Copies of this chain bind each other. A is one copy, B any other.
Amino acid sequence: MTELRVGLLGLGTIGVGVARILIEQKELISRRLGKEVRLVAAADRDLATDRGLDFSDIRLSDDANDIVTADDVDLVVELIGGYEPARSFVMTALEHGKHVVTANKALIAKHGEELFPVAAEKGLQIGFEAAVGGGIPCMKALREGLAANAIESVYGILNGTCNFILTKMENEGADYADVLKEAQALGYAEADPTFDVEGIDTAQKLSILAAMAFGSKIKFEEVFTEGISKITAADIESAHEMGYRIKLLGIAKPHGAEGEVETVEMRVHPTLVPLASQMAQVSDSYNAVQISGDFVEHTMYFGRGAGERPTASAVVADIMDIASGFPDGIAHLAPPMGFVQSSRRDKPTMPMADTECEYFIRLMVKDKPGVIASVTSILADHRISLEALIQKERHASHNVPIVMLTHETTEGNLQAAISRITGLEAVEEDDVLILRKESAVA
């Protein structure tokens, strides 16, 4: 029976999960593929810890270089995470003719455009299903399942930490800081939560999804990114009263005449989604991705976005895909980014000022006559019409919260109006929150 030999970099949580599947599901995997997948070697700086698995048939090393250059390894699984040394190890593995599977979204988002051409030239595959949406096979759905479609939009709840925090804030009426502490205690948030709560993790994943959807290049640093740290329990309640739930979404859409992708819109921010939508039901640390195409219409993919076992499931799915094409190279696999490397195009990111949205605006104003008139007349000057306006009860501070929902306008126009509004003497500049609304989520 044909055998694919796997070398594993990193025996942390996910690495142990991958090793566990390759050992425990050995028979299932060969029944599915008609081929063997064998874990031959693994590297980790810490070889002393007992991982509860029988590694007696597996070569262990404390140096990843032993794996990426080994003659008896056909495929390297990179689960070190971060930019370096992950990038160098992956590059060396490719240079030594090894396929690569990784769960590292940071690596793909930042260095993918350097790695993909090397892989393509050498007839090697890079699999990264686990990098976006954890266990959900959404990369495969987008790349292969929806391949007959021009993709019209991608919406994703891509970060379980943020979704856990927002769900708890809503269910308990609690404020951000309190729930963050609880999430940290439960292990759902890091000690330094910036990467998750400020939307950076979501932006990395979105940049990969967008490039795969539209046949463009990955431009993580150009994604407009806002996190959830300014949202209050009162904002969540106001949104709810208006018929919406707040979710941190990554959103990508193509723009151009006659189906040509000319620019790519990419933004990550807290978003109002209709309460009755599928997306609004995605709670706790679950993830979901909605992908719409010109033929298929709306589709959605839901599941665990993180964790040892779900993430390992996605890593091993990639390994099995590559095993299908093995040993004859990857001429028979869908290209990693869903378009053959030579047809991927460098498309500019749409300037955020040009994007169009409906907005949720929360202001704190001094309780004086005429303030609402001043605010609404500035919006009218900018031809921004209102769908709803709620004036809440006065705070202890004698300031009054006002919440508005606008009809569609451009970000540039909205920001110009907001800048005039925050210039009003009666408006507290620090207490302005702008959220965006998406009615098109299914």
Task: Say if the beta carbon of A137 comes within 8 Å of chain B.
Answer: yes
CA–CA, A334 and B307, complex, Å: 26
Other 19 A-B pairs with CB < 8 A, given A298-B303, A300-B303: A32-B339, A136-B299, A137-B146, A140-B140, A141-B141, A145-B314, A147-B320, A148-B316, A148-B317, A148-B320, A277-B281, A278-B281, A294-B309, A295-B309, A295-B312, A300-B302, A328-B328, A328-B332, A331-B332
Interface residues of A toward B: which range? Answer: 35 or more
Task: Say if the beta carbon of A21 comes within 8 Å of chain B.
Answer: yes
Residue of chain B at shortest CB distance from A140: B145
A residues whose Cβ falls under 8 Å from a Cβ of B: 17, 21, 25, 28-34, 129, 135-137, 140-141, 144-150, 215, 276-278, 281-282, 293-304, 307, 309-310, 312-317, 319-321, 324-325, 328, 331-335, 338-340, 342-343, 442
Residue of chain B at shortest CB distance from A298: B303
**Interface pair A296/B324, CB less than 8 Å apart:** no
| B141, B276, B296, B302: the one within 8 Å of A140 (CB) | B141
Complex copy number for this chain? 2
A interface, over-half SS: mixed
Expressed in whole angstroms, the minimum distance between the Cβ of A384 and any Cβ of chain B is 32
**Interface pair A299/B302, CB less than 8 Å apart:** yes
CA–CA, A297 and B304, complex, Å: 7
Q: Known contacts being A310-B297, A332-B324, is A129 close to B145, with CB within 8 Å?
A: yes
Please indicate which of the listed interface residues A297, A315, A442 has the most CB atoms of chain B within 10 Å of its own CB. A297
**Interface pair B135/A299, CB less than 8 Å apart:** yes
In the complex, 13 of the A-B residue pairs with CB atoms within 8 angstroms, ordered by the A residue number, are A25-B149, A31-B340, A32-B147, A32-B334, A32-B335, A135-B297, A137-B299, A145-B314, A147-B316, A148-B319, A300-B302, A321-B334, A328-B328
